[in-house]
Structure 1
């Protein structure tokens, strides 16, 4: 059958084809048109249709089959990354890669070493944590549909392993690529839910013991308030995002528009992967998901589009417990002693000589959670008087998959709110949404410890009185029963805030978030009155938030917005730091005596050429922008040299939070030093001060250099890109974090939403795949892909591949 006729036939595919025969990935049905009509002989199966750039459109008759198609297609693109993650979940990194090495991938926990990672995950397995949560009935546990998706995903992944040969050199001959179970898939989702709680700080819980004597403060230990602020800062830096929803009052067609731009790692298990998932008459959703999940996490259906951003809510808290005199392993609750639970965890560790031996460490648990002795830079010494224990409500949350599934079914913003209310499973994100009826939504609906301001005021320890106002990290007196978290009547589990407490803004002309608190989701309608643990108000916003609010507020005011406006916003690459400071920098540079400044090593540097380069810079981080690289290197050096309170002449004002602080303080000695350092650094690397950014910010894929636009969080760029600086190799030579699954979605009243998408790093991490860098080249060119959601659009895709996948 000629290809055009075959494509017309595909448009009519329905459930009858779901009993067709299996085809291996890459085998187009057009090459063997009769095979799609043959029976498969039983077992799970799905139809996978690949459109441009390797995007699969997966159709099945039920949830197990749909999960099967997802597992198969993800394995085809990302088997090595997925398999490496399952090694982590099995607590076997030390067996294969040695205990002292740092994990290659921190998408499932933030452990510093393989040994720490293994002890954390093996401890969960020993306690059968996930198995117990799987046994809970819905809605406190996962629904039948979620379980079927997980079971199907595991079957699809395993079937791909049985029927295909791995070509990715990362694991082509690796013995650690093994089949998985539905419980493994559940454990992956559970681990993701822990990334802002226990999973963020495993090093302080996996090998705990009391110390002898008092706890002296170590030299160089940061102020507790500052250290606690860093806990969220690191999370937002490792996984951030922008998202904006426009209501119908601002758009050309009177319907909603959404632009989502999550900032996630470009390597490892936190990569997004794109697909469409369809059960005719039941579910039809397209978008991106994090690897290993059997659902779309960010996407759209025919009526609504949504995205997420990392929220400021502190997803875990601490209790300080008074220990029993003479017995540090017992603690007091209202004066009555309770004994800790001891858990000995054993993991296999490969030594430098190649031999594998067992290593055992002890973990101690209280009624609240595990004993912890530090949170990153915040020490929590276990003394003969007190001990700290972690409270993480997501430790009993296996509802995240149900949350994403419910969002995929939601028919509009009211449906989104209902989905979040019913499932209460999203652990550490905000949700931004727009729909075909013109509604917009921002909500910080996340699972948070129920620490009210009243409770914090009444029960905070001396440490908590420093950390809670600064960051929302509560440290409460656990020795008193009246300091328990309590319950909200509309909460699915005790100890968390219910849906009615969530900061929410509905139908604002725009609703935007760039990883700051809910306060300025719409600067004209600030959100206030929520407990501190959700986030702060009346404080300086990041430059990325300020720039984003300026941009989207101006767009909303201009009105008559279209999808093209969203694409222009994504690739504008405006640098708010440059617009605020570059003119001042150029003037300050020109005022330096003799055009010279002294660098941080005390050496004089001729910076006169930098004045013109910075003055002529267009204030963008586009690949062809000249002067952008110089400003970028200067700005980073300046922020490392000059404290925020000395950086600006006009301080922050809560009455003008989008425009203050401003006016760079070029009289601070650090200004000239930072400029000298930046100029000297570029000259030493042989890089011209006015070199185009793209010549020195790029990625290399299969030997080809691909220029990359965009800029760092510190510059405030919407199209955020964080790259590794390697001056000997030419500058920023690899993006490790930034814009990932981008989607611009609108509606025109038909059943087919208008959508443009882009997966910046492509569907596959296999360098032998045709989809290893194809979308990276689109990203470099500032282009997006037309989303094919409706049958007629899928059928019209050039080079459409139709693949039947099954267990047999």
Structure 2
């Protein structure tokens, strides 16, 4: 793994890109006209039509900038390593896609390191599949021109969003800015969780050794707890023809992503007549549909359990903390002398210098997910090997997916590009074939290698987390190579799980194992995910609902029934525990709450009358949720993940590998944590001023300006499929939504070219509080409403609210 890319690539860069880095400032080529038609329909959904890829990117960027320019401009500041210059070195920002909070100065050095290494330029110099397809390059070129056109038309001082109106940090962009954003998203689940740790890593000061060093077990359990705590995930169900009323495919896509920040989705319909016609959503800054459908195929994604990186433990030469041993021979770390512009308290700009270090394995780091568990010591350090550090293939993958006509064609695209960075893929087509695949960029670390190359830490993290921590002092601990892998050091598709079926496949962020319980996927490397272990409640809830409908009731699904499956807000934990909790509550008239005794009579009545759902008007939902949350906190040892609950003494029926959908189950009321959790729940509601029969309409709302919009749904950890995550604030209640159901689509194929679809973008299309589309879909979501399909021309034409044609011709 010494040097993922050859230095020769840098030499050819100018030839490959017509002028090197400065050519990344995009304008229409001489004599070229960029032109796109933009039509807005219900809820601000934009339909972009153009005759070529550059014009399509041009139109999409213009429309996207109308809705979300400020957040996007902020992200371009981030990926260029300029946050300290504009916002100060002590401030921080949150990478909402993975939940990490990063100091501006450390973040700037992290991104300056990427820029100095010219990794992105190296990738751009490569032909496909490693480098972007010509159509992708055209999309990016047009995207830059469209973004900049919007800025010129509007002018920075007149931007409608007050959060960046007149801001110095808003500027026109270059192509390299767009590719840097692509790269940031590729690393979201790998180097992106170690931005602080890479950007701050410095050699130890002689004689200064931390007084307390964490044990291997402490490191592993803290990592597990923090990784589980991110809770960003998704649900997806793909039905084949055997499971639908139409005899054709159907997809429920339900990603659980942040409601704030730049890792939101934007909804669009992109059309080049005869070449491309696709609708769905993109992450901010990506001019392609990442989750959506065309006339033949619908697909969605769920965050995969596979790891995208491995730490390497370095053995340092005594007295030389930037020299490490490989096979007994010393190797010098590569120093990178970097500079960051930084705004001081008086407004003056100064230059801060720092040297970061890389190794044959990757950059030296000291922290992951905000946990300083990997200290750089006089004799030991850690380097981070990132499988996605060489991945631009994902943009090629999504362009080809946008054009795919079947699940099998999508499987071929997955195998050919091997570019999906950190998600599972679920899809179904008009022919009635459903696909599950975790063919994603994963380090090639077979289980045997993970053990033979493990030190003390790796011997703990591998069985507990599936994360190999490898010995950096041995060259034979480099990632293995598969013959069918496009990228050296990653698993090839023959060693990754996938499944094609005509009944159904599903995933809710557990591993591949129970994508369909009738055909378990087993025998894959632990780094991809665990097998034959208890599933999360959300996974089990989805499987129970699908199998009950198909097999217990003997019915197939209509599109409406699939919508109802999601919005029934079934609380799976309640179905597992409540039948035991209510009798216990009746037999225990007084409990100890938060320090004081509380009477349980009213709580028992509320819980018994509750419909076991997290609907807006279901009395008991708030009370039970606080009970379950308190039980998790009290009964789950520090570092134990929610998916490991089978090991805890809260169940009466333990996990059974032969009945994984229905076990573990039953509440062990003899566990003293149960009484404490229920008493504390009663105290929690009393302290926050809520009645014990309070509903989510009263207790769970989202702010849009001065308006509070009630939000249904609940914690995925408790098996609510329509997941909503928002922490409880003692004495106040639930905060605004942090993440959860974001873009939801139910797409059914019924034989013609107009799929029968419903969608909802829960947090709405625009982040500009002055926009009419800042809260409109959020209000619709609050009413359990849906947006009708707007795909075929006949569906769009009658619902267009505004039409605009933009064009420009280069002199």
Equivalent in 112, 115, 134 of residue 122 of structure 1: 112
2:486 corresponds to which of 451, 470, 492: 492
1:530 Cα deviation after fit: 0.6
CA distance in 1, matches of 2:115, 2:715: 39
* Structure 2: gaps of 5 or more residues: 1-30, 637-644
Query: What are the residue-to-residue correspondences of 1:749-760 with 2, within 5 Å?
Result: 749-760=751-762
Which residue does 1:748 correspond to in 2? Answer: 750
Structure 1 residue 550 corresponds to structure 2 residue 551:
no
**Kept in 1: contact 2:687–2:731 (CA 8 A):** no
Structure 1 Cα separation of the partners of residues 575 and 423 of structure 2: 30
Q: Tell me the residue number matched to 2:46.
A: 56
Q: Which residue of 2 aligns with 1:249?
A: 242
Aligned-residue offset at 1:76: 0.5
Cα deviations by residue, 1:51-98 (Å, 9 ceiling, x for unpaired): 111111111111111111111111000011111111111211122222
Asked if structure 2 preserves the Cα contact closer than 8 Å seen for 1:232 and 1:312, the reply is no
| Offset of residue 497 of structure 1 | 0.8
Cα distance change on mapping 1:492 and 1:510 into 2, 3 Å? same
Distance between the aligned counterparts of 2:216 and 2:520, measured in 1?
A: 36
After TM superposition, give the deviation of residue 214 of structure 1 in Å.
Answer: 6.2
Instruction: State how far apart, in whole Å, the 1-side matches of 2:72 and 2:238 are.
Output: 32
Counterparts of 1:462 and 1:692, CA distance in 2: 49
Q: 2:775 aligns with which of 770, 773, 782?
A: 773
- Whether the 8 Å CA contact 2:302–2:424 is kept in 1: the answer is yes
Answer whether contact 2:759 2:789 (CA < 8 A) is retained. Answer: yes
Q: 1:265 aligns with which of 258, 280, 288?
A: 258
Matches within 5 A, 1:169-248: 169-211=162-204, 212=207, 217-218=212-213, 223-230=218-225, 232-235=227-230, 237=231, 239-248=232-241
Alignment CA distance shift 1:219-1:438 (3 Å) = closer
Compute the displacement of 1:703 (Å). Answer: 2.5
Task: Give the CA deviation at 1:171.
Answer: 1.1
In the other structure, the counterpart of 1:306 is 299
Q: Which residue in 2 is equivalent to 1:568?
A: 564
Q: Is the 8 A contact 1:89 1:121 kept in 2?
A: yes
Q: What does 1:278-427 correspond to in 2, within 5 Å? A: 278-376=271-369, 377=371, 379-427=373-421
Q: 1:138 matched to which residue of 2?
A: 128
From 605, 616, 623, the counterpart of 2:609: 616
1:789 aligns with 2:785: no
Per-residue deviation, residues 179-204 of structure 1 (Å, max 9, x unmatched): 11111111111100101111111222
- Between 747-756 and 382-391, report the one with greater CA deviation: 382-391
Q: Distance in 2 between matches of 1:119 and 1:574?
A: 46
Deviation string for 1:699-726 (max 9, x for gaps)?
2323232211100122210100112434
Task: Pick the aligned partner of 2:581 from 580, 585, 607.
Answer: 585
- Which of residues 511, 514, 521 in structure 1 aligns to 2:515? 521
SS for the counterpart of 2:456 is coil
Instruction: Quote how far apart the aligned CAs of 1:783 are.
Output: 1.3
Cα RMSD between the aligned structures? 1.9
C-alpha change, 1:741 and 1:373, in structure 2 (3 Å) is same
The residue matched to 1:344 in structure 2 has which SS? strand
Residues 465 and 726 of structure 1, relative CA distance in 2, 3 Å threshold: closer
* 1:675 match: 678
Tell me what 2:65 maps to. 75
Is the Cα–Cα contact under 8 Å of residues 217 and 460 in structure 2 kept in the other structure? no
Distance 1:338 1:231 in 2: 33
Structure 1 match to 2:35: 45
Shift, 1:222, TM fit: 6.1
| TM-score normalised by length of structure 1 | 0.91
Q: Contact 2:94–2:102 at 8 Å: present in 1 too? A: no
Q: Residue by residue, what CA displacement relative to the aligned partner does 1:389-445 show, whole Å, maximum 9, x if unpaired? A: 111111011112111111111110111011111221111000000000000010001
Q: Return the offset for 1:791.
A: 1.4
Q: Is the 8 A contact 1:155 1:807 kept in 2?
A: no
Cα distance in 1 for partners of 2:196, 2:79 equals 16
User: What is the SS of the residue equivalent to 1:421?
Assistant: helix
- Cα offset, 1:695, TM superposition: 1.3
**1:633 partnered with 2:626:** yes
Taking the aligned partners of 1:626 and 1:108, their CA distance within structure 2 comes to: 33
Alignment of 1:688-727 (within 5 A): 688-726=691-729
Q: CA deviation at 1:213?
A: 6.5
Pair 1:733–1:785, CA change in 2 (3 A):
same
Q: Following TM superposition, by how much is the alpha carbon of 1:511 offset from its aligned partner in structure 2, in angstroms?
A: 0.5
TM-aligned CA deviation for residue 387 of structure 1: 2.1
SS of the counterpart of 2:425?
Answer: strand
Partner SS state of residue 123, structure 1: helix
Residue 463 (structure 1) shift: 1.1
State whether structure 2 residue 84 is matched by structure 1 residue 94. Answer: yes
Contact 1:625 1:692 (C-alpha < 8 Å) held by counterparts = yes
Summarize the Cα distance change of 1:405–1:706 in structure 2 as closer, same or farther, 3 Å threshold.
same
Take 2:735 and 2:98, find their aligned partners in 1: how far apart are those partners?
26
Secondary structure at the aligned position of 1:323 is classed as strand
Cα 1:215–1:476, aligned 2, differ >3 Å: closer, same or farther?
farther
Q: Is the 8 A contact 2:451 2:458 kept in 1?
A: no
Indicate how the Cα distance of structure 1 residues 351 and 187 shifts in structure 2: closer, same or farther if over 3 A, else same.
same
Pick closer, same or farther for the CA change 1:386–1:685 going to 2, 3 Å: closer
Question: Do the aligned residues in 1 keep the contact of 2:593 with 2:682 (CA within 8 Å)?
Answer: no
Q: Deviations over 1:655-707 (max 9, x none)?
A: 22111111112222222222222111211222110022211111232323221
**Stretches of structure 1 lacking an aligned partner (at least 5 in a row):** 1-40
| Counterpart contact for 2:241–2:502, Cα < 8 Å | no
Aligned to 1:763: 765
**TM-score, normalised with respect to structure 2:** 0.91
CA contact (8 A) 2:307 2:527 kept: yes
8 Å CA contact 1:227, 1:378 repeated in 2 = no
Contact 1:225 1:466 in 2 (8 A): yes
Matched, 1:803 2:804: yes
Q: Distance in 2 between matches of 1:676 and 1:495?
A: 53
Say if 2:466 is the partner of 1:472. Answer: yes
Q: Does the C-alpha gap of structure 1 residues 224 and 451 become closer, same or farther in structure 2, counting only changes over 3 Å?
A: same
Secondary structure of 1:338 counterpart? strand
1:533 is aligned to: 527
How many angstroms does 1:345 deviate by?
Answer: 2.1
In 2, distance between residues paired with 1:539 and 1:301? 36
* Change over 3 Å in CA distance of 1:102–1:525 after alignment to 2: same
Retained in 2: the 8 A contact 1:624–1:694? yes
2:147 is the alignment partner of 1:157: yes
User: What secondary structure is seen at the aligned counterpart in 2 of 1:141?
Assistant: coil
Q: Distance in 1 between matches of 2:613 and 2:344?
A: 50
SS at 1:208 equivalent: coil
2:725 match: secondary structure: strand
Q: Find the counterpart in structure 2 of residue 738 from structure 1.
A: 740
Judge which range, 293-302 or 559-568, deviates more.
559-568
CA-CA distance at 1:218 after TM superposition? 4.1
1:768–1:190 Cα change, 3 Å: same
Match of 2:6 in 1: none
